[in-house]
Amino acid sequence: MSKKIVFITGASAGIGEACARVFAREGYDLLLAARRIDRLEVLSAQLVAEFGVRTHLLALDVRDAGEVFGMFNNLPANWQQVDVLVNNAGLSQGLDPIQAGDIGDWDRMIDTNIKGLLYVTRAVAPGMVARKQGHIINIGSIAAKEVYPNGNVYCATKHAVDALTKGMRIDLLDKHIKVTAIHPGMVETEFSEVRFKGDTARAAAVYDRIEPLSAEDVAETVWFAASRPKHVNVNDVVIMPTMQANATTAIRE
Ligand code: NDP
Ligand code: 8X3
């Protein structure tokens, strides 16, 4: 019997990379996408050697609809049979009040976190529907549930992920496709470096004197959802560091 296939977007770093490791450990073949293909190649070599899985790598910008549909539709037929899609690629850019927001930042967040997720889902879902099986796992955020000062557009994109997850679950219900959202609080990845555009001191301050979630903590939660029996769907998980109560309340010791 052929192995199951997981398609993970944004697998070159952080949560997506950790998901790739966990699904490889569990014996899945890996369809991995990100813009930084060099990183995917390094990760792939490690996982093939350690777990004997097969990988297929896509140098993909999820914001480019033509690229998404072109690459997916030109995959060898067996790689198009995705069992689990982890819509993880995403980013925050800037942390500015609405009146001072950078339009380019807004476009990058909306195009990646909302439109990119939609394009990839639109490419993958028809095959799941035809096979009457599949699981779509969207990575949201505590920012999908709450809005915090200066989080305006990032929070809006993650609220959209929350709404889209609910909509997908309704539309795909009679097609027997599971749909899950995992909403983490603070996770120490490259996220803050990207948000603050390479300002490593500002990024490091986010995780100062607090024990955040690790990318692995989130990946294990994704795996929990993916590994439930056929009759069980995990709809929605909010996972936080123990030291963080909500988007705006954390202790630092
Ligand atoms: P990282 O910056 O460590 O990783 C982000 C990943 O997304 C990278 O692999 C990056 O790959 C990929 N990516 C970004 N833009 C694109 C694009 N246009 N096309 C394809 N891939 C892209 O951050 P995280 O691992 O923390 O973030 C993963 C997800 O988790 C995001 O959706 C984020 O919003 C969410 N999240 C993060 C939290 C945190 O505190 N860290 C908390 C809650 C949610 P590349 O640059 O190579 O394209
Ligand atoms: C990332 C966590 O709180 O910076 O989604 O929005 S937060």
Work out whether strand 244-246 and strand 249-250 pair parallel, antiparallel, or are unpaired: antiparallel
Query: 92-116 burial string, b = 16+ CB within 10 Å, else e?
Result: bbbbeeeeebeeebbebbbbbbbbb
Euclidean distance between CA atoms 45 and 76, whole angstroms: 20
Q: Give residue 25's pLDDT.
A: 98
181 CB within 6 A, ligand 1: no
Helix 14-25 vs helix 37-51: crossing angle, to nearest 10: 20
Domains for the chain: give ranges and CATH numbers: 5-239 (3.40.50.720)
Please report, as a single letter, which amino acid is at residue 127: G
DSSP class per residue in 90-133: --------GGG--HHHHHHHIIIIIIIHHHHHHHHHHHHHHHT-
Tell me, yes or no, if 148 is annotated catalytic: no
Q: Which ligand is nearest to the CA of 194?
A: 1
Euclidean distance between CA atoms 112 and 77, whole angstroms: 26
pLDDT along the chain (253 residues), means of 10: 90 99 98 98 98 98 98 98 99 98 98 99 98 98 98 99 99 98 98 98 98 98 98 98 98 97
143 CB within 6 A, ligand 2: yes
Q: Give residue 2's pLDDT.
A: 72
Burial of 74 (0-12, 13-18, 19+ CB in 10 A): exposed
CB atoms within 10 A of CB 249: 8
Q: Give residue 29's pLDDT.
A: 98
Atom of ligand 1 nearest to the CA of 184: 43
